[in-house]
Amino acid sequence: MAALKYLNSKLNNNPLALRCRKVVSLALGLMLTGFFVTHSCLACVDGTVIATAQDQKTPVPSKAQRKESLKLIRSLFPSQYADRSDEGKRKLAGMLLKQAQDISDDPVSQYVLFEQASEIAQKVGAAKTAWDATEGIIKEFDVDAFELKYEVLRVLSKTLEDSALYSTLVADCQKLIDQRIELDQYELAITQSRKLLAVAKKGANEPTINLQDRSAKRIKRLASAYSAIKDQISIADSQSNNEAANQAVGEFLCFLKGDFEKGLPYLSNGDSAATKTLANQELNSAETTKEKVALADSWWELGENENGNDEVLAIKTHALEIYLAIVDDTTGLTKARIEKRLGEGNKAELGDNFFETVWNVKWQNGHPEWVKAQFFTDGRFRSFALNQSWDHHWEKDQPHQFRIISSSKKFAFVCRLESGGLACEKYDIASGKLLDRGSGFPISQQSMHSQNTNQRNKK
């Protein structure tokens, strides 16, 4: 160790030895890192990084560069690489990942360390290490994020036995496809959704497979609809008085993609008197609570008369967004009517299957795992943790987001539906401090009603 430090100090004054200095720094760092890596369950994935400025990403090192770097790393730790036990591989993968995360001035070594960590972890089913290493490559290097994660899923389908964990990773890949949809890249989205569905069938649970199947069908419908109106987009953008083009584009954005923010300006110039009036009211004149109630009522009634499940869902969901924003400002019969529609909207938006779905939620920072958890239509939320059943109250904050209040009134859990999974956060109610994050996925559609409730406690 002392020799390495001495050599590194000498190389600092030799500009011709820059590469050697980086190698010495890598060797020193690897030795200092050690092999004590704490194992933890898979944490909630907040999002997937896809760079919009590709020039900020580092190019993938050449094959020759990667080979040279790997040779160095293996030579430094021959005994560790020779340890063929699963535990030895997990320790090695974790150590390589930690070192890769700490490197800032040697992209070749960083890439190889991430790559080695991922590949070794995959072979022993160490999903968190493999996924974190893959995320590291995606964040720093110019790579195809979907293909990289798809390959990791393909290997993990053979080595990871936890289907709920595997399902969470499938949902993370779906976020990449959702971004392709946002960019109207449907041909690529179809290809990716087909591959993701195939790999989901190898290791995910049944609810996840069903979600991916529905997603693949929706993407095909979006692709067909986009093909029919894409020529109208440039016309509508350049000719605000072309009512037919504006109507076609507005209906696609609002009623199929559910993007009212982008679609309303088009509908405001469309040829449908009903949607044109509503769009203009929302964009220009609906300011008071009374006006917003009337606006939401009109959108809801339009959804009632619309054909097509996707269209009805999109329109009613938009009405629910308006209702949710104003329900606390209403009183009497108006408030009662809105609350009733919000209840109906839960079923319209989420479907009956949502209230039959049992979830598994794993937490990152110590909160007990919800081995089973379920939402009920009467506002109850039941979780099974620490060998006991806990009953809480839930309410909807906004579409696809729910706030769960613990029985003790000390904690609030915010859960969001994301690509078929649950992204959860735990807060201290008194201080508002974020205490933990969790990631959940459906494990069955069998109700917990039949569960023995004699063990229920108040938390």
Q: Could you read off the pLDDT of 298-313 as tens digits, one per residue?
A: 999 999 887 777 888 8
Question: How far apart (Å, rounded) are the C-alpha atoms in residues 446 and 299?
Answer: 34
Alpha-carbon dihedral angle through residues 131, 135, 136, 140, given to the nearest 10 degrees: 160
* Pairing, β 411-418 against β 358-363: unpaired
Report d(CA 268, CA 243) in Å as an integer: 9
The Cα–Cα gap between 362 and 375 comes to 17
Residue 413 neighbours by CB distance under 10 Å: 25
Q: What Rg value do the Cα atoms of the chain yield, rounded?
A: 26
Distance CA 294, CA 278 (A): 10
Q: What Cα–Cα distance (Å) separates residue 20 from each residue in 35, 78, 133?
A: 25, 20, 25
Structure tokens given for 138: 């995606």
pLDDT at 350: 65
pLDDT at 455: 40
Helix ranges (DSSP H) in 183-327: 186-203, 206-238, 243-251, 260-267, 273-280, 289-304, 309-326
- Alpha carbon distance 296, 364 (integer Å): 39
Grouping H, G, I as helix, E, B as strand and the rest as coil, residue 360 is: strand
Torsions phi, psi for 417 (to 5 deg): -80, 120
Domain 357-444 has CATH 2.40.128: yes
What are the residue boundaries of the structural domains of the chain, listed by start?
A: 29-38+47-219, 286-350, 357-444
Q: In the 8-state DSSP scheme, what is residue 29?
A: H
Query: Can you give the pTM of this predicted structure?
Result: 0.70
Dihedral of CA atoms 52, 215, 192, 399 in degrees, nearest 10, equals 20
State the Cα angle at 163 between 173 and 419, rounded to 5°: 35
163-182 vs 206-238: helix crossing angle, rounded to 10: 10
Q: What is the pLDDT of residue 97?
A: 96
Dist CA 180 CA 170 (whole Å): 16
Distance of CA 317 to the CA centre of its chain: 20
- The predicted pLDDT at position 166 comes to 87
| pLDDT in the model for residue 365 | 87
| Residuewise pLDDT in 10s, the chain (459 residues) | 333 333 344 334 433 333 444 443 444 344 333 333 333 333 333 334 444 444 589 999 999 999 999 999 999 889 999 999 999 999 999 999 999 999 989 999 999 999 999 999 999 999 999 999 999 999 999 999 999 999 999 999 999 988 878 888 898 899 899 999 999 999 999 999 999 999 999 998 887 888 889 899 999 999 999 999 999 999 999 999 999 999 999 999 999 999 999 999 999 999 999 999 999 999 997 789 999 999 999 999 999 887 777 888 889 889 988 988 898 899 999 999 988 888 776 666 666 677 888 999 999 889 999 999 998 877 789 999 988 888 888 887 666 788 898 878 899 999 988 766 888 999 999 898 999 999 888 887 655 544 444 344 434
CA 325-328-332 angle, to 5 degrees, is 125
**In whole angstroms, what is the distance from residue 59 CA to residue 57 CA?**
6
pLDDT at 327: 87
What six digits make up the tokens of 183? 């960019």
Reduce the DSSP state of residue 409 to 3 states and report it: coil
Joined tokens for residue 324: 């949710």
Q: In the prediction, which pLDDT does 348 show? A: 60
User: DSSP 3-state assignment of 47?
Assistant: coil
